Structure 1
Amino acid sequence: MEKWFNVGKVVNTHGIKGEIRVISRTDFPEERYKVGNPIYFFQSDKAVPMQLTIKSHRVHKNFNLLTFEGYDNVNNIEFMKGGLLKVPESFLGELPENEYYFHEIIGCSVQTVDGEELGVITEILTPGANDVWVIKGKNKKELLIPYIEEVVMKVDVKEKIVIIEPMEGLLS
């Protein structure tokens, strides 16, 4: 069964020439929304996604505006409001060393270099200079671990395990 990844949500139409307004959920909009690329449209009431081909892409006021081949009128795209744009796992590219997709990190168990089990990564925050991994501890307490070299010693996405060297005060 194909695994799908959300790259955007259709929030509205834009103008009369078939553009849709998308809130993007991808770190690679220039790649995902490249002219000629296929993308899949999902509606909550339909079991099978609709394959679309991107005809144009531009950014306007923090939205990605897209048109699709064969859809050149606002009346043809009205049904897309509220739908999701997704790509299959096979579309995901290789990342540089020590970079990971969120879905690879979320669900990993975390332990210290001394072997102490800390919990499981449930969320990734992206506040600025580095990501912060949210760990749900055994006592339901949340731990925030910065994704920096000094703290994260090893990431094994195949085994779903992360080894950290906690900085002073990090676990208290």
Structure 2
Amino acid sequence: MEDMLRVGVIASTHGVRGEVKVFPTTDDPSRFKQLKEVILDTGKEHLPLEIQQVKFFKNMVILKFKGYDNINDIEKYKSKDLLIPRDQAVELEPDEYFITDLIGLEVRTEDGEILGTMKDVLETGANDVYVVQMKDGKELLLPAIGDCILNVDLEQGVMTVHILDGLMDL
């Protein structure tokens, strides 16, 4: 499991005073109001940034970091991830998982047949859809519903699924 979880990506600068527009990768963008600090993944290092101000604009979060007071200080961080330690993550409900924990799980049928590896999660309006990279190279799309996803064992690295009628028809 990852020690750090991504909560956003710096999309662009905002104004000339060092603010940035952040695309939130969390289900609840308002959680930025409770964060005091985020960690910037520069690609070379993890840089702690103290949040000075939080605003919201359309689907974006506008952040101002302490010590970054003009556009030139912050512009180089466009497209970089903002992370938090796992211990600062929101509490999950039963049968809720962080996407990063699901990626890479071995996916098996209820009969023990190995289907492939969890590759991605598509977030749709009704329910998430799990993308499984099958052994034959094809992708299988599984709805993240109780009838289909029987068990997720993060410690064993295995997801057990029931293939609903029609899902394997290509």
* TM-score between both structures, scaled by the size of structure 2: 0.86
Whole-Å Cα distance in 2 between the matches of residues 36 and 5 of structure 1?
A: 13
User: What SS does structure 2 have at the residue aligned with 1:70?
Assistant: coil
Quickly say closer, same or farther: Cα 1:109–1:60, change in 2 above 3 A.
same
Q: 1:119 & 1:129 partners in 2: Cα distance?
A: 25
Deviation, structure 1 residue 63: 2.0
Segments ≥4 residues shifted beyond 6 Å: none
* TM superposition shift of 1:4: 3.0
**1:75 to 1:146, Cα distance in 2 relative to 1, 3 A:** same
Rounded Cα–Cα distance in structure 2 between residues aligned with 1:150 and 1:75: 52
- The alpha-carbon deviation at position 35 of structure 1 amounts to 5.5
Gaps of 5+ in 1: none
AA paired with 2:10? Answer: V
- 2:38 paired residue number: 39
Q: 1:158 to 1:14 in 2, by over 3 A?
A: same
Q: Output the aligned Cα RMSD.
A: 2.0
* Matching residue of 1:128: 125
Separation (CA, whole Å) in 1 of partners of 2:114 and 2:41: 39
What is the distance in 2 between the residues matched to 1:36 and 1:69? 13
Residue 141 and residue 75 in structure 1: after superposition, are their counterparts in 2 closer, same or farther (change >3 A)? Answer: closer
SS for the counterpart of 2:100 is helix
Residues 1:34 and 1:118: Cα distance change in structure 2 (over 3 Å):
same
Q: Secondary structure at the match of 1:139?
A: coil
Separation in structure 2 between the aligned mates of residue 80 and residue 138 of structure 1, nearest angstrom: 38
1:60-111 deviations in whole A, cap 9, x for unaligned? 1322111112333334433433433222333323311000001111111111
Q: Deviations over 1:16-59 (max 9, x none)?
A: 3331112222223222x226611112323xx3322111111112
Task: Give 5+ residue unaligned stretches, structure 2.
Answer: none
Deviations for 1:131-161, whole angstroms, at most 9, x for unmatched residues? 1111111111111110101111111111111
Give yes or no for contact 1:35–1:54 (8 Å, CA) kept in 2.
Answer: no
Structure-1-length-normalised TM-score? 0.85
Is 1:119 the counterpart of 2:134? The answer is: no
Task: Report the more deviating stretch, 135-144 or 15-24.
Answer: 15-24
Residue aligning to 1:85? 82
Matched-pair contact (CA < 8 Å) for 1:34–1:54: no
